[in-house]
Amino acid sequence: MADPVLTRGLTKQFRSQTAVDSVDLCVPAGAVYGFLGPNGSGKTTTIRMLLGLIRPTAGEISVLGMPMPQRTDEVLRRVGALVEGPAFHPYLSGRANLARLDAADRHSDVRTAGRRIDAALDRVGLLAAATKRYRAYSLGMRQRLAIANALLMPRDLLVLDEPTNGLDPQGTREVRHLISDLAADGATVLVSSHLLAEVAQMSTHIGVMFEGRLVSQGSIGELQAGTVQSVRVDTDRPEEAARVLRELGLTEVTVGAERATGVLGDVEVAKIVPNLVNDNIAVLGFTVQRPSLEDVFVSLTGEGFDVSG
């Protein structure tokens, strides 16, 4: 299957400001792609170009194998989107709000509207609250209703811009679990967020935006593997263990209380413990310490990150 989202050299300029600078985005089929970056990094502008809401200054966009914005009508009927927060009538019920939005969609079938609306509400866990007025909904319920709107028709791609923005911990969990369930059912999900912890818990792939540029993308494992990894040896002879680590080629070797650590570099992990044992150094514990996503972000941008919001 072709990648549902591809861009080449995607650029957007507003007068003298370049909001998005030559972005090559690749969202694999079936992925939950975490579009990560601080506020103002160009995520929402990129998403708006993907959906044909604004035109790029330069570059190419392919969504579901079709060029955008040239084939907007064909593409958007297969895409569900939540961009810059939900907007509903506060005095109407959740079901009535969805009925109005469905009626405005010229591709929807009025004969199946009731069934589809109830199915979407049930899918996001709001069927029991379908008759409650929107103004009585919690923030988490409002976000889930917005996602229900995106699910009124069959969708191959879901694009969610900051879906947990402003939610309490319970609402955040609700939306996060819903996204995971949608992906498990076969949808490809592009979810934009400035909250690293949320991206880490729901995503299979990540793209990191910073100052308008896509500084890295790939699976979480690929991004972590591309950064510095270290090893820790627990032993009652840390000085001797440190010597062996240096001889093997590890760098930045340090000695602590009953442990030695070093940066792995290109050294094969499988060689370390046998060499220690051959020197009669008891290995009480051995750990390869992989960088966290926060470490990855700092290594890519040189700045800290909003970990939890």
Give tens-digit pLDDT for 198-245: 788 889 999 989 889 998 898 887 777 666 678 899 999 999 999 999
Worst-scoring range by mean pLDDT, 62-76, 182-196, 247-261?
182-196
pTM: 0.78
5-225 has which CATH code?
3.40.50.300
Average pLDDT, integer, range 82-100: 89
Average pLDDT, integer, range 97-102: 94
* Residue 277 · residue 267 · CB < 8 Å: no
pLDDT at residue 308 above 50?
no
Q: What confidence tens digit (pLDDT) does each residue in 100-112 have?
A: 999 988 888 889 9
For residue 202, what pLDDT is reported?
A: 86
Q: What confidence tens digit (pLDDT) does each residue in 151-179 have?
A: 898 889 999 988 887 777 887 888 888 88
- Domains of the chain, by residue range, sit at 5-225, 230-290
Comparing C-alpha atoms, which of 35, 77, 49 is closest to residue 163? Answer: 35
Q: How far apart are CA 118 and CA 131, in angstroms?
A: 11
pLDDT at residue 306 above 60?
no
- Could you tell me which residue, 1 or 197, shows the higher pLDDT? 197
Tokens of 276: 């220690």
For the domain made up of 230-290, give the CATH fold. Answer: Alpha-Beta Plaits (3.30.70)
Average pLDDT, integer, range 69-98: 89
Examine domains 5-225 and 230-290 and report if their fold is the same: no
* Residue 84 · residue 44 · CB < 8 Å: yes
